[in-house]
Amino acid sequence: MTSALKETLRILLVTPREGVSDAVEEAVGTQIDDYHLYWVSEPDLAIARAEEILPHVILVDDDMRGASPTSLIREVASRAPAAAILALVESHAMNQARQAVLAGARAFLAKPFRADELVASLRELLRHERIPDTESADNHESRGRVVVFCAPKGGTGRTTLAVNTAVSLAMEAKKPAVLVDADYASPSVDVVLNLHAQRDISDLLPKMSHLDEDLVAGVLTEHASGIQVLLAPTFGYLTSPVSFPQVQKILVVLKRMFSWVLVDLGLPLDEVAYAFLDGADRIVISMLPEMVGLRNTRLMLKQFRNRGYPEQKTWLVVNRASMRARIAPRDIEELLPFKIKLQIPDDQPLATYSINRGVPVAMRHRRSALGRGFRKLAQYLVSDLSEVAGATARRRAVRELGDEMPNSGQLKEIAAGQSGY
């Protein structure tokens, strides 16, 4: 199926029910290799998500818990005309199915559906599929990039890595960055950055129905480095848990406000954690070169593969890579198996000193080996963004040639970014 598309199949599912998401994931995962399933649990997020990822197929559940699926289909069809819309309706709701088709759905599928029925419907929809213009999907300069830092266990230096990368990005990229403390079981960003703010994410939760940039800006705390921080409540003070839809809404707003959205994600990998991970452009796993970390990292990578994340979405960073009695990098890569993106040298005294003082290494000790390691990760992220933007520019240049096929010399110029086209 995806060979005809020549790219990863992008499926956007709009449903408030986690069971439907699990059923679609299971059905698609058994028969399609190269795909990515995006789940939106609230209808009012569907339009923004569709415009952002430009899905090939949009699955719309008829159970919207009060919202009108017909109205949603009509609006999605007008805002994302290249996407094929498949309505998921109850077997007895044929009137709802007819309304969905009249509103713009190309077909409908009765629930509960079998895996082979769903995949057959997808194949039929994609047979005459118009490939969406991926320029908007790939143009990350028009929206913020989300980088989620996670770890398979505590004590890997994940928060230190996230904080110093955020500070380094603000210095390297010269673009606005925000750091989100999403470790709700053991928040520590406020300590690492020596912040004493009175506001945190819990101040946003009662206002989700009218969330906007002004509301979010009102709860952010500015650090001396220039980064903004969305803090987590002190452990035990979160009166109600953060939900999947709330995370989705907050990320949408933050991506409009900042070029870089960095998330320090704690354990466990529950529904809320996956809300951050699903919305990430890059996932940075922080691990130590020791056996427990190796075993847990392998399990985490397996979870990500089962979730449908493409391998290039995840970067593996080995912290304290020069520690004594460490596992060698080549052995780590062989045993996982997964390529290491970066190794951060071991300097535990400096790391502890910076945490105790509340001054990141990237600010006060930029030229140390540790500081250079953090800066290198920031440079990788900036370079990664530049490569995506460059690929978009080359595709645009080729399209602008129209029917005139470029010769080999023009192709080389386009690839080098030197063409006048």
pLDDT digits (tens, 9 = 90+) for 196-242: 988 999 999 888 878 889 999 999 999 999 999 999 998 777 777 78
Do residues 163 and 258 both lie within one domain? yes
What pLDDT was estimated at residue 403? 44
Do residues 281 and 322 both lie within one domain? yes
* Measured distance CA(3)–CA(33) in Å, rounded: 10
What pLDDT was estimated at residue 419? 42
Answer yes or no: is pLDDT of 409 > 80.
no
CATH number of the domain that residue 287 is part of: 3.40.50.300
Average of pLDDT values for 357-369? 93
Answer yes or no: is 303 within a domain.
yes
Answer yes or no: is pLDDT of 282 > 90.
yes
What pLDDT was estimated at residue 201? 94
Do residues 117 and 253 both lie within one domain? no
Which residue is associated with the tokens 């210095």? 171
Average of pLDDT values for 121-134? 68
What pLDDT was estimated at residue 245? 80
Query: Could you tell me where the DSSP H helices lie in 266-407?
Result: 271-278, 291-307, 329-335, 348-357, 361-364, 369-400
Do residues 38 and 94 both lie within one domain? yes
* Measured distance CA(136)–CA(128) in Å, rounded: 22
Confidence label for 25 from pLDDT (cuts 50, 70 and 90): confident
Average of pLDDT values for 407-412? 51
Residue at a domain's end among 88, 106, 132: 132
Average of pLDDT values for 160-165? 97
Average of pLDDT values for 92-111? 89
Nearest to 308 by CA among 31, 76, 86, 119: 31
Average of pLDDT values for 99-118? 90
Do residues 220 and 363 both lie within one domain? yes
Residue at a domain's end among 132, 164, 186: 132
* Measured distance CA(322)–CA(346) in Å, rounded: 5
Exposure on the CB side of residue 231, measured as CA atoms within 13 A: 24
Answer yes or no: is pLDDT of 124 > 50.
yes
Answer yes or no: is pLDDT of 330 > 90.
yes
Q: What DSSP line would sit under 38-57, residue for residue? A: EEE-SGGGHHHHHHHH--SE
What pLDDT was estimated at residue 22? 85
What pLDDT was estimated at residue 139? 44
Do residues 118 and 245 both lie within one domain? no
Computed over every residue of the chain, the mean pLDDT equals: 84
Q: How many domains does the chain have?
A: 3
Give the rounded percent of residues in the chain with a pLDDT score beyond 70: 86
What pLDDT was estimated at residue 138? 43
Do residues 179 and 314 both lie within one domain? yes
Answer yes or no: is 34 within a domain.
yes
Do residues 254 and 145 both lie within one domain? yes
What pLDDT was estimated at residue 199? 92
Answer yes or no: is pLDDT of 46 > 80.
yes
Do residues 202 and 333 both lie within one domain? yes
Exposure on the CB side of residue 30, measured as CA atoms within 13 A: 12
**Residue 315 sits in which domain range?**
141-386
Answer yes or no: is 421 within a domain.
no
Answer yes or no: is pLDDT of 2 > 60.
no
Confidence label for 332 from pLDDT (cuts 50, 70 and 90): very high
Answer yes or no: is pLDDT of 367 > 60.
yes
Average of pLDDT values for 261-274? 92
Do residues 15 and 29 both lie within one domain? yes
Do residues 355 and 400 both lie within one domain? no
Query: Is 176 or 393 the better-scoring residue by pLDDT?
Result: 176
CATH number of the domain that residue 47 is part of: 3.40.50.2300
What pLDDT was estimated at residue 389? 56
Answer yes or no: is pLDDT of 366 > 50.
yes
Do residues 150 and 260 both lie within one domain? yes
What pLDDT was estimated at residue 152? 95
Token pair of 121 as six digits: 């419907």
Residue 241: CB partners within 8 Å, gap ≥ 6? 184, 272
Confidence label for 307 from pLDDT (cuts 50, 70 and 90): confident
